Structure formats: C-alpha cells, structure tokens
Homo-oligomer: A and B are copies of this chain.
Amino acid sequence: MSRRWAIRLIWSVESSMATPRSLGVLLFPEFELLDVFGPLEVFGNARMRAHFDVLTVAEAAGPVASGQVVRAVADHALDGCPRLDLLLVPGGFGTRREVENGRLLDWIAQRAAAAEIAMSVCTGAALLARAGVLDGRRATTNKWAFQWVVSQGPRVEWVPVARWVDDGNVVTSSGVSAGIDMALHVVGRLTDAATADQLGTFLEYDRHRDAGWDPFAKVHGLV
C-alpha cells in the first residue's frame, strides 16, 4: 500500500468513527409513544453512541403530550434544530391534524431533502406524503389506517404488504412496533449486520429480518 493510500485509509476510518450521524425525531401532540421510543431505544442505545446522536424536535421545545397521555420533552424547536443526517417522523392520531399544518410540512420537506435517510413509522408516512417526500417513491404505513394514509399521497407507490419498505433515502415502516424492525434494519445498513444483530439480542427483541413479513395486511383486508 502506498503512503498516500495508507493516509487516505486512516482518514476514512477515523472520520467514520469520529462523526456519529445525528438523528432527529419529530414530536407533535398525540404522537404514538412506541413509534418514537421503539426506534429511539435502538438508535439511542448506549452501544450505538459511536454511530448516532439522537434528539427530539417539535414546533416548540419542551413537553409534548403523546396519544397515550404521557409526555416527552422536545429538545429543540423546529427553527433551532441542528442539521440532521437522519429524520424520523412518527405516527399517531395527531397526524390527522398535522397533515394540515403547512409550517410543519415545509420543515419536514426541507429536512428530509437534506437528510441521508428520512424515515417514518406508522401513519407518520401521511406527513412525509403530504410534504411531498414520497412522490414517485415506494412506501408503506400502518395497515389499520392504510386507506386514510393512501388518500394523503396519490403520487406514492404504496406497498400494502410490508413490515417496512427501504427505498434508498426514504425508509417507511408499517404500524407502531414495526418501527423497531425498521430501525434495526437501518442500523444494519449504516453500520453492519452483526452490530444490528447484537443490538437486537441486547434488547431481547424477536426481530423480523424479512421486510415482506406482514400478517397484519391480511387482518385488515389489504390482500
């Protein structure tokens, strides 16, 4: 190996180790708890500290009430939110109101465009769709609320049978707990398969590795 290549290799390894990706998770009133905290358990885990820095963001910094009443704290307001490498938009009953929130949709569109990957869990896909992020893209969402989400994105190629859909810089998951499988998939993609497997075991999580696994599509009459 030439000296120049050796220096390039060292620089590449060091820079990949030295710079965790920033993940911003959007909160809004009546967000779904597990949509947010399943993926945050994964990306925010102490074992992932070298890879990811996590934060929460909402229209105003401070407490935000979930659809399960309990409150989480938004670290940043939309305007003050640092640059995000990864964006995650959860679902929940609050999405019914937020699909009409132009300021929030503009923020999502801008941050998703600048991000390496924009993700959604559950009905969060409706917000990505209304922000235009999913136009011409393959995506999935909650199976119980599938028709409503589809109605929010007429130019989206909706996939009715999927635990999650990885369409490159857009990754969307099915309902609620599917966000955990999607998060472990993304960790595997951005680090390596062994890291994701070890994390899943640490969480004692019975992981679905098959993006096509989806018995809930049938339960809700989508196949």
Quick check: A34 and B33 within 8 Å, CB to CB? no
Residues of B within 8 A of A38 (CB): 34, 37-38
As for how many copies of this chain the complex holds, the number is 2
Known contacts A38-B34, A203-B176, A204-B174; A44/B70 CB under 8 A: yes
Residues of B within 8 A of A32 (CB): 41
Known contacts A93-B46, A177-B180, A180-B177; A40/B70 CB under 8 A: yes
Known contacts A33-B37, A68-B41; A177/B201 CB under 8 A: no
Determine how close the nearest CB of chain B comes to the CB of A21; give it in whole angstroms: 14
Does any Cβ of B come within 8 Å of A128's Cβ? Answer: no
Size range of the chain A interface in the assembly = 35 or more
Does any Cβ of B come within 8 Å of A188's Cβ? Answer: no
Does any Cβ of B come within 8 Å of A206's Cβ? Answer: yes
Known contacts A40-B33, A204-B216, A206-B208; A63/B73 CB under 8 A: yes
Residues of B within 8 A of A37 (CB): 33-34, 36-38, 41, 70
Q: Write out, one digit per residue, whether chain A residues 155-180 have a CB within 8 A of any chain B CB (1) or not (0).
A: 00000000000000000001111101
Known contacts A54-B68, A70-B54; A203/B219 CB under 8 A: no
